[in-house]
Amino acid sequence: MSRIKEQAMGKVWLVTGASRGLGREITRAALDAGQTVVATARSAEAVRDAFVDDPDRLHVLALDVTDAEAARAVVAEALERFGAIDVLVNNAGYAELGFFETFTDAAVRRQFEVNLFGAMSVARAVVPHMRGRRSGLIVTISSVSGVVSNGGGSVYSASKFALEGWMEGFAQELAPLGVRSLLVEPGMLRTEFMDGKSASFGGIQISDYAEAVAQHRAFVDQANGAQPGDPKALAARIVALASQDETPSRLVFGDDARRWAGAKVDQLRQDIARSADQS
């Protein structure tokens, strides 16, 4: 790709889960910054509906991240069209919100298939290109729930804890090869994440949990649409960080996320100190 063409396109982004929520906002922020975006979701039509103006720098493709072959095909098409992928945003995901025993084994496995193995499949398709260029940034959308787990979120947190464990180590493997990593840990964002299209609840009825499950569902219903975090502000922050030569390894976004993560760090320090006292 010529230098003139590269300057005209800016960076080339590949964003998964771009039809809704934070993925849509990241796509919009990157386009507004003059970048070129390959925006993907399970339904290409849903992405087009979200970007009716369809600017020249937006290229829409269907991608189910659990389909590794499809991920390789999307990456190949993006490289054929644009010559590079500078930024990968592994954003696609959803939440199983409920008590662990109320989920079937299939539901738990599906949570990991999308949130963890889907991100791995897309990264496997993109990273060889980035390694070859000795350049690139992988933005992994995690959650403060990848740092702190609470009742009613154990399955979702398990997938995000695993995502963070994988990416934290993978980032260290890639760093000497010029590929950077940014783990994003938002608190509660005002997106559709907690509605019925993005969140799922366990269907197994267990009387011991009935009252607690009802309270948890009421909390989710009340919080949906009233979350404190601004997804547009987070998207703008991610795009700004991607333009910098130095990228932090983590971005903990939102007062709630910083408060919960800080409390977890404090608790860990206390647990470590107690462990030393008992040795």
Q: Give 122's contacts (C-beta < 8 A, 6+ positions apart).
A: 14, 16, 63, 65, 71, 75, 88, 90
The 3-class SS string of the chain reads: CCHHHHHHHCCEEEECCCCCHHHHHHHHHHHHCCCEEEEEECCHHHHHHHCCCCCCCEEEEECCCCCHHHHHHHHHHHHHHHCCCCEEEECCCCEECCCHHHCCHHHHHHHHHHHHHHHHHHHHHHHHHHHHHCCEEEEEECCHHHCCCCCCCHHHHHHHHHHHHHHHHHHHHHHHHCEEEEEEEECCECCHHHCCCCEECCCCCCHHHHHHHHHHHHHHHHHCCCCCECHHHHHHHHHHHHCCCCCCCEEEECHHHHHHHHHHHHHHHHHHHHHHHHC
Given 156, 157, 181, 200, which residue is catalytic?
156
CA dist 93 and 77 (Å) reads 23
Two structure tokens written together for 210: 């009935």
CA dist 194 and 251 (Å) reads 22
Given 19, 121, 142, 143, which residue is catalytic?
142
Given 160, 181, 200, 209, which residue is catalytic?
160
What is the distance in angstroms between the CA of the first residue and the CA of the last residue of the chain?
60
279 in catalytic set:
no
5 in catalytic set:
no
149 in catalytic set:
no
Could you give the residue numbers annotated as active site?
142, 156, 160
